[in-house]
Structure 1
Amino acid sequence: MVAELPRDTADSDDIAVTGVSCRLPGASTPDAFWDLLISGRSAVRDVRDRWPAASGATAWGAFLSDVEGFDAAFFGVGEREAALMDPRQRILLELGWEALENGRVRPDGIAGERVGVFVGTTWDDYAQIAYQSRSGLRSGHAMTGLHRGMIANRLSYFLRVTGPSVTVDTGQSSSLVAVHLACASLRSGESSAALVAGVSLALLHTNSTLSDEWGGLSPDGRCHTFDARANGYVRGEGAGVVLLKPLSRSLADGDRILAVIRGSALGTGAGATPTAPDPAAQAAVLRAAHRQAGTEGQVQYVELHGTGTPVGDPVEAAALGAALGSVAAPVAVGSVKTNIGHLEGAAGIAGLIKTVLAVSRRALPPSLNFAAPNPAIDLPGLGLSVVTSAADWPRPHLPLVAGVSSFGMGGANCHVVVGEAPTPPGEGDPAAAPVAPWPVSARSSA
């Protein structure tokens, strides 16, 4: 069964992306992330500085350099409370503020507004560490600091906003499902704007060991998406946030619009086992999303789920080819996991931010680690083409249309359709804009 959002007219339900923030491996800002992507760099490294005992596949990862740092005073949090806050809460507070600023919204000026907060995430590593050490657990801050459901609530409380505040866990598709749910909330009028996030931290080596024993990790620490060498994924961590508003309101407010979300769909379907992907279920979600968006036959690029596993890649390629492929005009594809690893619960938001940047900057970054296609994937026959070097869009003279896929381990499949922002009437050359003051403020002189 596929959940599809209703659409009355061509553009009435489009959702504007007006702000972005991120903290990703090798990139702490959207500009740094774009530079990493377009230059074809990988952030995967040896992670034995975090886990000295790691070996084999678990010794590789795309991790953040600092997950401990947090300006508690800035957010009105005491030191004892901050120590018991899951670092995902801390990162989300910082990135929520940054996304609002990036969207030219005063974070301290939206109290009481129906702003929704939707966050996708999975593992609870920090809580497990706290439970094992039992350090400070008798404090009243332990419940609010360690409970997964509080991750979204923490940001909503700090901003004093009144829209839905939801933490989503559908496995690896969690953060893209959060986008789908946020768009539904915006279209219904339940939310006037939404902050949508994915956040994932790999703090426990045991969870990497579980993934390796399950057969998921690449022994050489590389995601060889759609490649003949595909042998598993490499774990990544990080977070990203997008600020969303109904397009009609965003245009009326004169927002800077980076891209628009034209449609999305969510469905469930597993194969022979609970974790085996099903091509028919994936294809159904793809078709539903583009039917809802009114973009059948228009898609030029798809940001793949693209884990680089020998089972998942051929299934995803078959579904994508059946639903969207074009032999006459092949659909370009790529995977951000080849740059920053698999962010699991935050993988979908990383793929969405990559796609928003690619649309707004009208260029396609390369998908790394691709030399020859998996023998089980007939790229020309499926009407697909892997982007192997920085390139223009396949048909840049047409409106840009892209898809972003994210599939959960248990079959929770999501696809989001992204298009370029409309050009406001009478918009002039940005280079000719007059010089403007740039005020700088802070809570303290330091």
Structure 2
Amino acid sequence: MTEYVGDEIAVIGIAARFPGAPNAETFWRNLLDGVDSIRDYPEDELRAAGVPDRLLADPDYVRSAGHLDDLDRFDAGFFGYPPGEAELLDPQHRLFLQIAWTVLEDAGYDVTRYAGSVGVFAGAAVNKYLLRHLLPNPAKSPLRADGQLDPGHTPDYLPTRVSYKLGLTGPSVAVQTACSSSLVAVAFAAQALQDFRCDMAIAGGVAVTSTTPSGYLATEAGVLSPDGRCRSFDASAAGAAPGNGAGAVLLKRLTDAREDGDHVYAVLRGWAVTNEGAARAGFLTPGVDGQAATVTEALVAGELAPETIGLIETSGGGTAVGDAIEVEALARAFAAAGGAPSRCTLGCVKANVGNLDAASGIAGLIKAVLAVRTGTIPANPNFVVPNPGINFTPTGFSVAEKTMAWPTAHAVRRAGVSAIGMGGTNAHVIVEQPPDRPSSAPDDSVHDLTLNGRTPEAVRAAARRLAAHLTEHPELSLADVAYTLRVGRSAFAYRANVVVSTISQACQALTSELTVVPAGQAAARTETTAPGRRVPLPGYSFEPERLWVEPPFTVASIGPNGPDE
């Protein structure tokens, strides 16, 4: 196994909300099953959303997207927002607030009691809600009479909003590099940890490319798929559908994570961020040399030989030319780093969920993290016939046609993750399987499982989710579960306690009638806890309500003379 030198970065928490997946566990199951999560909208739904007949009749109009449910809903009270203010917030900010809270809980940390500094590095797409819903509505528009926009409505405010609402005091930095934003954020967060600028860091991104059910106009030789399907590395590759999504990881110095008993999903071994400069055909056109330089730098930074990489989670835009460029760049990078892959599989999460804009890189990273953790490489949907413009044979690369076990030729599971930003800023991050964690000792003692919530129903929802999780993971130590709930969850107005000695007893008690009481009537919460370790458990059960400003018209209905009447 790997001998660590002391500057590696651990991934100790993950959180995701992607098309077809309300959480990271569902996202991973979908990947393993090769699920294509792009949604095809029926005509009546599009028409009800305001898509005009002239677009529905256009043969180039594609009725598909990577859809997220309940964009119009938000638990404003949880984050201290009055409803009137919450309905004006960019849905991207609302999504990422919840993701940030969830990723901290997934790692087993209660931010109200954590003494260290936590940084936030994140990127977001353009605020479509501002453009389509608020600005055209005089009663809701944040554009002042002097032509100035009220603060808080642009992507720049995303990380600082999280830091303010969660009380985080580390660096809070917005990252804007188009489709590579969230992976660049991960690289910046990892570097900040190496430089001791913070003790933990949230890194990720969010994109809401469409606020209502809608498709798009595909153009010949464009980056948008003419049928809504991304076929990365396939002979029929012609682009990808746009999609909505949000994700984040929580990072920490590996030495600290191991000392603190954290659950480690994976280790970041090397990373690089570069720009291609003028050495490409156009501002929005990717180049071979620039991509190769990024991958080479990440390998060198991690002091890793190319043949030790078993998976490359590519940017994979799903175009014939773009995919060929990326494979050529990878081949050059591996050669420049002193070797070639003995066997390396290529994957692309865009084939599952579409192009998630600023959240694309974090989707690929979370996929790679779970792949090295579990030793399973998910299938690449929609791959049938290899792109004839790519000569895979001499490179050693192949595409994952089905979900498979990690190649046994690799003693240590490692994966590279690429993100290519329009404009030339590229990122590459290398992740490695986590170090062995000793199993918890058998324990048949009695443990108190504490559940908290702002309302009694939130407590009961938390109990149901925990019971479902324990049913799926009977291998968990009850001592670890109790410890995580005790030290890794914030106290709220209501509480329930379940005293049990086995996982099966816990599942039964959690699904029975719970006694939920105001926190003031419950037994005093003590900071002295039984020994245990942090383990991933379901996070807070948010109680969202509809907080939404309807668009006075859709952007799709705007013609040369302005909005349709």
- The TM-score with structure 2 as length reference comes to 0.73
Matches of 1:282 and 1:43 in 2, distance apart? 28
Alpha-carbon distance change, 118 to 328 in structure 1, aligned in 2, over 3 angstroms:
closer
Secondary structure of the 2:404 match is coil
Give the superposition deviation at 1:429: 6.4
The residue number in structure 2 matching 1:401 is 414
The residue number in structure 2 matching 1:385 is 398
Give the superposition deviation at 1:89: 1.0
The residue number in structure 2 matching 1:115 is 118
Q: Percent identity?
A: 36
The residue number in structure 2 matching 1:290 is 299
The residue number in structure 2 matching 1:76 is 80
Q: Which amino acid aligns with 1:335?
A: C
Alignment of 1:147-226 (within 5 A): 147-203=154-210, 209=216, 212=219, 215-226=222-233
Give the superposition deviation at 1:216: 1.5
Alpha-carbon distance change, 397 to 385 in structure 1, aligned in 2, over 3 angstroms:
closer
Alpha-carbon distance change, 223 to 433 in structure 1, aligned in 2, over 3 angstroms:
farther
Root-mean-square deviation over aligned CA pairs? 2.4
The residue number in structure 2 matching 1:3 is none
Q: Is the 8 A contact 1:84 1:145 kept in 2?
A: no
Matches of 2:430 and 2:180 in 1, distance apart? 15
Alpha-carbon distance change, 376 to 341 in structure 1, aligned in 2, over 3 angstroms:
same
1:445 aligns with 2:456: yes
Matches of 2:183 and 2:71 in 1, distance apart? 23
Secondary structure of the 2:436 match is coil
Give the superposition deviation at 1:336: 0.5
The residue number in structure 2 matching 1:18 is 12
Q: Is the 8 A contact 1:126 1:146 kept in 2?
A: no
Alpha-carbon distance change, 201 to 116 in structure 1, aligned in 2, over 3 angstroms:
same
The residue number in structure 2 matching 1:275 is 284
Q: Which amino acid aligns with 1:181?
A: F
Alpha-carbon distance change, 438 to 357 in structure 1, aligned in 2, over 3 angstroms:
farther
List per-residue Cα deviations over 1:271-315 (Å, max 9, x = no partner).
Answer: 111111111111111010011011122111000101101221110
**Of 292, 317, 325, which aligns to 1:315?**
325
Secondary structure of the 2:377 match is coil
Q: Is the 8 A contact 2:135 2:143 kept in 1?
A: no
The residue number in structure 2 matching 1:233 is 240
Secondary structure of the 2:428 match is strand
Give the superposition deviation at 1:117: 0.5
Give the superposition deviation at 1:434: 5.1
Matches of 1:328 and 1:71 in 2, distance apart? 47
List per-residue Cα deviations over 1:179-205 (Å, max 9, x = no partner).
Answer: 011111111011111011210002268
Q: Which moved more, 1:168-177 or 1:290-299?
A: 290-299
**Of 132, 136, 140, which aligns to 1:136?**
140
Matches of 1:119 and 1:221 in 2, distance apart? 28
Q: Which amino acid aligns with 1:273?
A: G
Alpha-carbon distance change, 445 to 266 in structure 1, aligned in 2, over 3 angstroms:
same
Secondary structure of the 1:108 match is coil
Matches of 2:83 and 2:440 in 1, distance apart? 48
Alpha-carbon distance change, 65 to 207 in structure 1, aligned in 2, over 3 angstroms:
closer
Matches of 1:153 and 1:47 in 2, distance apart? 35
Give the superposition deviation at 1:10: 5.1
Matches of 1:180 and 1:327 in 2, distance apart? 25
Alpha-carbon distance change, 108 to 278 in structure 1, aligned in 2, over 3 angstroms:
same
Q: Is the 8 A contact 2:309 2:341 kept in 1?
A: no
Give the superposition deviation at 1:437: 4.0
Q: Which amino acid aligns with 1:345?
A: A
The residue number in structure 2 matching 1:345 is 358
Alpha-carbon distance change, 440 to 323 in structure 1, aligned in 2, over 3 angstroms:
same
Matches of 1:257 and 1:89 in 2, distance apart? 27
Q: Is the 8 A contact 2:107 2:250 kept in 1?
A: yes
Q: Which amino acid aligns with 1:31?
A: E
Alignment of 1:24-43 (within 5 A): 24-43=18-37
Secondary structure of the 1:231 match is coil
The residue number in structure 2 matching 1:64 is 68
Q: Is the 8 A contact 1:37 1:339 kept in 2?
A: yes
Secondary structure of the 1:101 match is helix
Matches of 1:205 and 1:439 in 2, distance apart? 39
Q: Is the 8 A contact 1:21 1:241 kept in 2?
A: yes
- The TM-score with structure 1 as length reference comes to 0.91
List alignment gaps of at least 5 residues for structure 1. 1-8
Give the superposition deviation at 1:397: 5.6
Alpha-carbon distance change, 387 to 178 in structure 1, aligned in 2, over 3 angstroms:
same
**Of 88, 94, 103, which aligns to 2:98?**
94
Matches of 1:444 and 1:277 in 2, distance apart? 51
The residue number in structure 1 matching 2:369 is 356
Give the superposition deviation at 1:333: 0.8
**How many positions carry a matched residue from both structures?**
433
Matches of 1:138 and 1:273 in 2, distance apart? 36
Alpha-carbon distance change, 91 to 329 in structure 1, aligned in 2, over 3 angstroms:
same
Give the superposition deviation at 1:77: 0.7
Bigger Cα Rg: 2
Secondary structure of the 2:367 match is helix
Q: Which amino acid aligns with 1:79?
A: P
The residue number in structure 2 matching 1:415 is 428
1:103 aligns with 2:73: no
Secondary structure of the 2:320 match is coil
